[in-house]
Structure 1
């Protein structure tokens, strides 16, 4: 029996299998966008933050439309057309809501 094979009794796993997986770049960029929207909400107000979120959704739709297959991991859920349509529709609805919401000041 080889010394490097994991033992079922001890549950030892080789060191190579314990490495933490890296997050895809697209996931990090989407999270960064959401953090910027939250900061915008704190500094500029909810109306501006809703506009920023709508802008982020439009950027995600464009990225999903132009990137080659399989596409960004954070944005590729269904077919390309359905993803782009959904992101664009959400962006338009959120943009309209941001435009018609009364200002707090």
Structure 2
């Protein structure tokens, strides 16, 4: 049975990254200013934490937990590589 705390943690990391990256459907979006470099760093930091969770919990998650984690990682990886995402450095080409 899925642990709601784990699912909540995964969704929290995804929501904070989406809000920082400007996803309008994110419940946290209205609380953040739009700083491109900070947004990218926040997204990358959340992705790093999700990847660490995936590594540290490998073999210990049920199907629901694994699916939620995989979805969050895939979503952030796609968002960070999408056109219009702030570059890694202010002078980097888009």
- TM-score class, shorter-chain normalisation, is 0.3 to 0.5
Bigger Cα Rg: 1
Normalising by structure 2, we get a TM-score of 0.47
